[in-house]
Structures are given as structure tokens and as C-alpha cells.
Amino acid sequence: MNYLRPLLILAGVMLLLAVPPIWPYGYYQVLRIVVCIAAAYGAYTAFTTERAAWVWVLGAVAVLFNPIAPVYLDKETWVIPDIIAGILLLVASAKLEPNAPKH
């Protein structure tokens, strides 16, 4: 079974839900882990299926949201990266399907 699509959808939805500042700090810690794993797995899949643009896009998302060397921004500043990355992960969930055309 391919877990990439559900993982990318989960991460994308979590990012979009993170926009309103209603969550405890723990949510954002879990968010970093989930998004980093999803984006890194997506980048790996893009690499193995020769989708170079997605390798770079998802690799950048994985670096931005990595929990080991975190990027620190204000909550208000995170809104734009959260929305952009959330949309990118949701689009990637459709584009990186094994039978999806390579664009």
C-alpha cells in the first residue's frame, strides 16, 4: 500500500489548520514532525519517479519545517509559509501518485 498520498493530505490539512492561532504549542511541534516526514518522503518519491521540480519543492518544505534545526519565526509570519506549504502538499498528493502524468 502506498502511504504517500494520505500522509501528504494529512500534513497539508494540518498546515492549513495551523493558520488560526488557536492551538497549543505542542500542536506546532507535532506539525513540524509530520510535515517534515511527509515532505521528505514526497521528495524521495519524486526523485525515484524522476520528477525533479517536486524534489526541490518538497525538499525545501522538509528543510523549512524540520524539527532538528528549526526555523524560528513569529506566529504571524508563519501564516504565509503554512498556507503555501499546505497547498503544495495537497497538490503534490495528486501529482505524485504512481500513475499520475509527469509534469
pTM of the predicted structure, to 2 decimals: 0.89
Could you report the average pLDDT of every consecutive run of 10 residues in the chain (103 residues)? 88 95 92 96 93 95 94 89 96 80 57
CB 13 within 8 A of CB 86: yes
Q: What angle do CA 103, 40, 44 make, to 5 degrees?
A: 55
Other Cβ atoms within 10 Å of 42 Cβ, number: 29
Tell me, what's the pLDDT at 32?
Answer: 96
